[in-house]
Structure 1
Amino acid sequence: MDKRGNSVLENIKANYEKLFSAEKKAAAYILANPEQAIMMNISELARKSGSSEATVVRMCKHVGYQGYYQMRLLMSHDLGKARPTYDENEMLSSARRIFESSAARVAALEEAIDLELLVKAVRLLRLSRMVFVVAAGNTSPIATDLGFRLERCGIPCSYSMIPEHFLNHVSLGTSDDTIVAISRSGASKQVVQAMELARKKQMHSIVITGEKDTQLAEYADCVIQIVDKKKQALDTEPDSHLLEMAVSDALLYINRHFDALTQNAKDDKKEAGYGDDVELLLSEYKL
C-alpha cells in the first residue's frame, strides 16, 4: 500500500474494514483517542483497547507500517503538524517566548515527580559502592554528563557512550552497586540488557523514562517518569532531552543539599512526636 501523503489516522480509517475483529479494537481506540495513544507504549495500548500486544503489531502491519513504534512516531508527527503554533515571525523575534516555552515544560515536572522519590534516588546513589549510568543513542550524552557530575560530587561512577563498554562494566558489578538507566521510550535494547544484568547482580536501580509500564521499569527501585500523560503538559519533540537534563540537575541539587534535607525530615519527625529516628529514615534503603 502506498501511504505517502496520507496521515496515520487516514490509513487506519481506509483499512479499518479489512482488519480482523481483534485488530479493530486497537484501531478503534486509536481513532477515538489519538492524542492519548501517541503517549502509550504497546503494552498500555493493548490493555486500554482490550487487545493483545501481538494484535496491535498485526494491526499496524495491516494498515501499512512495520510495527507500532514506527506508526506511533509517524502519528505523533501528524498530530504535531495539526496543532496550532505561534506565528513563526513572532517566535523568531521573541527569545523570551522560546525560553518561556522550555521553562513551562520543566516546571510541569513538579506534577509528575515527587520530592520524596528524588530523595530516595539520591540516597541510593550515596550508599552505592559504584553507580553505573547507562543510556543508548541520542540519550547517551545525558548519561555521560550525569556520571561525570556525580563523580565531581564524590560518587564513584561508571559510564560510557559505547553499549558494549557499559554492558561489560555492569556485568562486573555487585549487590552494593546501583544502576541508573535513562530511556525516554523505556525500550532501548542495550539499556534493557544492562538492567537485566544489574538484576542478576541484585543491584539497586533507578530508571528515568517517559514510559512507566515497561520492562525497563518493572523491577526498578525508583521510576522517575518525565512525562505527565494525563495533562500531556510535557509533549516535546523526539530530539529534545531538556527534561532528562532537568531531572539530572534535580538529583545533583538534592545530593548537594542532602544533609539539610534529611535534617529537615528528622526535625519534622521530632515535631510530630516520633523522636530522633534517623535510622528509621534510612533503614528502608540500606544496602
Structure 2
Amino acid sequence: MSNDGLKRIHSLYTCFSVKEKKIADYILANPKRIIHQTINELADEIGVADATVFRFCKRLGFKGYQAFKISLASEIMSPIQQIHEDIKEGDSELSIAKKIFLSNKRSLENTALIMDERSFKQAVDLLLNSQRIIFFGIGGSSIVAMDAYHKFIRTGISCLLGGDIHFQLMEASQMSSLDTAFFFSHSGMNKHCLEIFHVAQKSGAKTLAITSFPNSILAKEADMALFSRSEETKYRSEALSSRIVQLSLVDALLVNVLVKRGEEGLLAMEHVREAIEDTRI
C-alpha cells in the first residue's frame, strides 16, 4: 500500500456521503493529530460510529484504521511532492513531459480506486445487449465519443456517431428501447449535451454516461454512469486531464464486450481488419 492516504481522500471526496465527508474534513484538517488517536477517540471527536470510520478506511483501500494511520504517518513524515502539480516556466521540455505522464498515471490510479465492480458489469451488459449504440459528446468530449465509436464498430454491434448538435438531436430522436445512448461529458452539466440526453430519454433509449461529477444532472439521470477522476494543474485544466481516463474506460468496456461476444466478436474484428487492409502501403 503506497503512502497516499491524503491524496486518496482528495481524489474520492466528491463521491463521499455526508458522514464520509465529515470524517474526510476532520482528517484533512488534523492529519498529525489522527496519528495519535485511536479509532474510538476519532469517532467520538467527529460524532460518528467506530464502524463508520472503519468503513471509510476500507473505502480508501486500506485494511483498516491502523493501516490507514501507518500510511498517514509515513506520508506526513516524508511528504511526497506531487510532481505533476509543480510545472514551472523554467522546466525543461523533458521534465514537463515526465510530469504530464505522471499526472496521467495518477488520474488513472485515482479512477481505478473509485471503480465499482457492480456498476461496471452493468455497463458492460448494457452495451452487450444493445441492438445499436450511438455515441454523443460536445466539444472536447466529442473526441472521446469518436474514439469510442472507432473502437466499438469492431465489436459487430451496430454503432453510430453523433455529428454536430443538430445531427445529434435528430439521431437521439430516432432511438428506441433497444438502443443505448452513450454520453461523454466531463462536467455532466453541458447544456447541449443534456438537451440531447433528454431527447434520447424521451425516445425510450437506455442511457450510459461517463463523467467526472457524480452529482451532475447527467450522472443522476442516466440509467448507468461511470466516473473518471483527474486533477487540475496550472497549465492544464481538469477536463483535459480527464480525457485520458475516459479513453481508458472506453478501452476497458470494449475489451469486456469483445470477450463476452466470443467468436462473434473475433469474427467482427477480422472483418474490420480485412476491410482496411488494402489502405496500408
TM-score, normalisation: structure 1: 0.55
2:220 counterpart SS class: coil
The one of 131, 138, 141 equivalent to 2:140 is 138
1:158 counterpart SS class: strand
For residue 140 of structure 1, report the CA deviation from its aligned partner: 0.7
1:171 aligned residue:
173
Distance in structure 2 (CA, Å) of the matches to 1:148 and 1:244: 14
1:105 aligned residue:
107
1:85 aligned residue:
86
The one of 223, 226, 245 equivalent to 2:225 is 223
Report the CA distance shift for 1:210/1:91 in structure 2 as closer, same or farther (over 3 A): farther
Number of paired residues? 179
Distance in structure 2 (CA, Å) of the matches to 1:86 and 1:188: 29
The one of 258, 261, 265 equivalent to 2:260 is 258
The answer to whether the aligner puts 1:239 opposite 2:240 as a matched pair is: yes
For residue 183 of structure 1, report the CA deviation from its aligned partner: 0.6
1:206 aligned residue:
208
Report the CA distance shift for 1:84/1:127 in structure 2 as closer, same or farther (over 3 A): closer
Report the CA distance shift for 1:191/1:86 in structure 2 as closer, same or farther (over 3 A): closer
For residue 87 of structure 1, report the CA deviation from its aligned partner: 5.1
Unaligned runs of 5+ in 2: 1-9, 23-83, 263-281
Report the CA distance shift for 1:91/1:161 in structure 2 as closer, same or farther (over 3 A): farther
2:270 aligned residue:
none
Report the CA distance shift for 1:124/1:84 in structure 2 as closer, same or farther (over 3 A): closer
For residue 97 of structure 1, report the CA deviation from its aligned partner: 4.2
For the Cα contact (< 8 Å) 2:134–2:162, is it kept in 1?
Answer: no
For residue 100 of structure 1, report the CA deviation from its aligned partner: 2.7
The one of 116, 120, 123 equivalent to 1:121 is 123
> Normalized per residue, which structure has more helix?
2
For the Cα contact (< 8 Å) 2:188–2:219, is it kept in 1?
Answer: yes
Residues 42-96 of structure 1: CA deviation (Å, up to 9, x unaligned): xx9xxx9xxxxxxxxxxxxxxxxxxxxxxxxxxxxxxxxxx96145555633454
1:159 aligned residue:
161
2:208 counterpart SS class: strand
TM-score, normalisation: structure 2: 0.56
* Greater CA drift, 152-161 or 175-184: 152-161
For the Cα contact (< 8 Å) 2:162–2:171, is it kept in 1?
Answer: no
Q: Which segments of structure 1 move beyond 6 Å, counting only runs of 4 or more?
A: none
1:53 aligned residue:
none
Amino acid paired to 2:94:
S
2:86 counterpart SS class: coil
Distance in structure 2 (CA, Å) of the matches to 1:92 and 1:122: 40
Distance in structure 1 (CA, Å) of the matches to 2:217 and 2:87: 38
